[in-house]
Amino acid sequence: MKTYLLLGTLLCSHAHAAGEGFVNFIRQQQKTTGVVWSMPVVPVGNGPSQLPLEQDGALFQLWTIEQATAKDHLLDQKLVGAYLPSAAISIRTLDPYSAVPRTRADQPFTVTFNVSGLLSGAGLPEASTRVLLEHHIANYKGAQKSIPAAQALSGTPLSSSYLIANGTSEQTFAVTNLKAADATLATGEEHFVIHALGDDSAEQTQLATAHVQVWPVASGTIQGIAPGERVRFHAPALTVNLNDLYPRSNTWIQVYKGGPQLNTAGTRVTGSVLILDQDRSDSRMLTVSDYDTALTDDGTYTMELLTETPFGIDRLHHVTFVVDRKLEIRAQLGGVDAQ
Amino acid sequence: MKTTLFLLTSLAGAAIAAPAMTDRITPEEIAARQKSAPAVALVQPVAGAEAKVARPGEQSLIKQSDILSDGNNWTLVPKGAVLHIPAALSNRVGAKPVGTLLSWIDFLTVNRGWLFTEEVTFDQAAGKTPIPPSRHDFWKKNGKVIVAVHLGGPISVRTEPTTPVASIQ
């Protein structure tokens, strides 16, 4: 009997993560005989395993090695066997980024579990009637942008529960479950893993795993102009501090006449637009000057710092000031009487 | 089912709707969102009855492999896949990973001059069926590094039998 395991899911979910500069390897370890086979790999696609399915099953591992550092990363692994339940996990977020599921600390995400091969009835061993779902969380430290799976899954899980029925089930989380002193700044990964219930001799019981990256909510300030300040001639130069911008985001400053009002379309300030499309959040500092053309008339203006992400537009900061360019000439007319 | 449909609709709707502008969320608002929509409860394990699961520890593909190198490029194969190394080519196996990493197929293509593949059956890889002695003789005469493959992919070959050989008393 051959394991016609569709490895497409494995490959498709991670091939982009292991893109240019990486080389992928799939290893199949036969648990009974210990034979290890390196499967020929294409970047995206499906392929059946050609080795016989042994009683103890086979462990499939997807690895990638970074060219520049020769460092290996275990991207995913799955235990498959004739007498084991099978499972799959997928994670859906509001960010369409395809390389890895990613979201923001304040945004919802949904985890879908699919289990098959469970048996029901009296007198059956527990391992054939249920699988264990574990939820692990791991915060990024410093500039980290990924956590090795072995490390993320090594600690005590945030929660454990049993899946006792075949079919699909879902869990939706309104926001991240990562812990942080300031919940808006939580960043890291949430890992979900389904284990077969093994015996004492099992070295691996992981049937399926998936994880989602969580990035913090951006923040920012406009410095150089104070609330209520009167701008007389040239508008002052601005320093814009941007923290934790979402990996895929457009950020800019806009100005409009009047007091602050959300969802008001204003004039984009030249030199203030920052576009990010990368694999991690980022912090920047911008200097903006020569924006007098956006302040056409005298009056009250509001300047807003906005960032657009897959989740909407966030106003990070705003300041209202007054433009007053009227020239007042104070003069006095007088006469000199001739003697 | 209704919950699922509602969720899908709401997620899709949020994704395609014109982005609304809001002020940056506060930590308190995040806490309120979490409280208002707790995750669906699943069947919890009985307290104290810890499930027997085995979590993968630190693993390294490179440590589990033999490295082949031509000086400019390198690749890796499962330990036990290299069946024969002529003395003159011993520096090509077990080298440090230096240069450009290639997939097995790409590495083989550019190094046909000193690499040769031996297609083995699964039973041969598992040590259940011995590789014929004639093949061993061929490898020695061939003068190349011999790598065991199964359907084109390098495979480890057990040299000892998988089950104890019965002895006659």
Length of chain A: 339
User: What does pLDDT average to over chain A?
Assistant: 86
Determine the Cα–Cα distance for residues B39 and B86; give it in Å rounded to an integer.
61
Determine the Cα–Cα distance for residues A104 and A188; give it in Å rounded to an integer.
10
Q: How far is CA A84 from CA A2, A165, A197, B42, B165, in A?
A: 15, 14, 9, 21, 30
Tokens of A330: 């104070």
Domain count, chain B: 1
More confident residue, A243 or A126: A243
Q: B29: which chain A residues are within 8 Å (Cβ-Cβ)? A: 106
Residue B136 lies in a domain: yes
Mean pLDDT, range A287-299, rounded to an integer: 91
A 248-287 residues with CB below 8 A of B?
262-263
Contact A132 B51 (CB under 8 A): yes
* Residue of chain B with shortest Cα separation from A62: B61
Q: Which CATH number fits domain A219-323: 1.10.3720.10, 3.20.20.70, 2.60.40.3880, 3.40.190.10?
A: 2.60.40.3880
Q: For an interface test with B, which of A24, A27, A31, A37 has the most B Cβ atoms less than 10 Å from its Cβ?
A: A37
> What SS3 class is residue A81?
coil
Determine the Cα–Cα distance for residues A320 and A260; give it in Å rounded to an integer.
7
Domain of residue B137 covers 65-154
Closest Cα in chain A, distance from residue B136 (Å)? 20
Amino acid identity, position A208: A
Q: What is the DSSP string of B45-98?
A: PPTT---------S--TTTTEEEEE-SSEEEEEETT-EEE--GGGGGGBS----
Query: What beta strand segments (E) does A72-117 contain?
Result: 72-80, 86-92, 102-104, 109-116
* Interchain contact A313–B (C-beta under 8 A): yes
Read off the pTM. 0.70
**pLDDT value for B9:** 36
pLDDT digits (tens, 9 = 90+) for A107-128: 999 999 999 988 887 777 777 8
Predicted confidence band of residue A203 (pLDDT cuts 50, 70, 90) = low
**pLDDT value for A120:** 81
A248-257 and A267-268: which strand pairing? antiparallel
Contact B61 A77 (CB under 8 A): no
Mean pLDDT, range A44-67, rounded to an integer: 74
A 182-241 residues with CB below 8 A of B?
182-184, 195-200, 202-206, 217-219
Tokens of B44: 């919890």
Instruction: Work out how many CB contacts closer than 8 A connect A with B.
Output: 207
Q: A314: which chain B residues are within 8 Å (Cβ-Cβ)? A: 21-25
A41, A61, A315 member nearest B21 (Cβ): A315
Other CB atoms within 10 A of residue B135 CB = 16
The residue behind tokens 């004492």 is A200
A94, A110, A132 member nearest B14 (Cβ): A94
Least confident of B47-56, B70-79, B89-98: B47-56
B37, B52, B158 member nearest A34 (Cβ): B158
B24, B53, B78 member nearest A36 (Cβ): B78
What kind of architecture, by CATH, is found in domain A84-216?
A: Sandwich (2.60)
pLDDT at A253 over 90: yes
**pLDDT value for A11:** 39
Burial environment of residue A335 by CB neighbours within 10 A (0 to 12, 13 to 18, 19 or more): exposed
Q: What is the DSSP string of A148-197?
A: -HHHHTTS--SEEEEE-SSEEEEEEESS-----SSGGG--EEEEEEEEE-
Domain boundaries, chain A: 1-77, 84-216, 219-323
Determine the Cα–Cα distance for residues B52 and B30; give it in Å rounded to an integer.
35
Q: Cα–Cα–Cα angle for A20, A23, A27, nearest 5°? A: 150
Closest Cα in chain A, distance from residue B80 (Å)? 9
**pLDDT value for B80:** 94
Residue B139 lies in a domain: yes
B 124-163 residues with CB below 8 A of A?
125-128, 150-156, 158, 162
User: What does pLDDT average to over chain B?
Assistant: 79
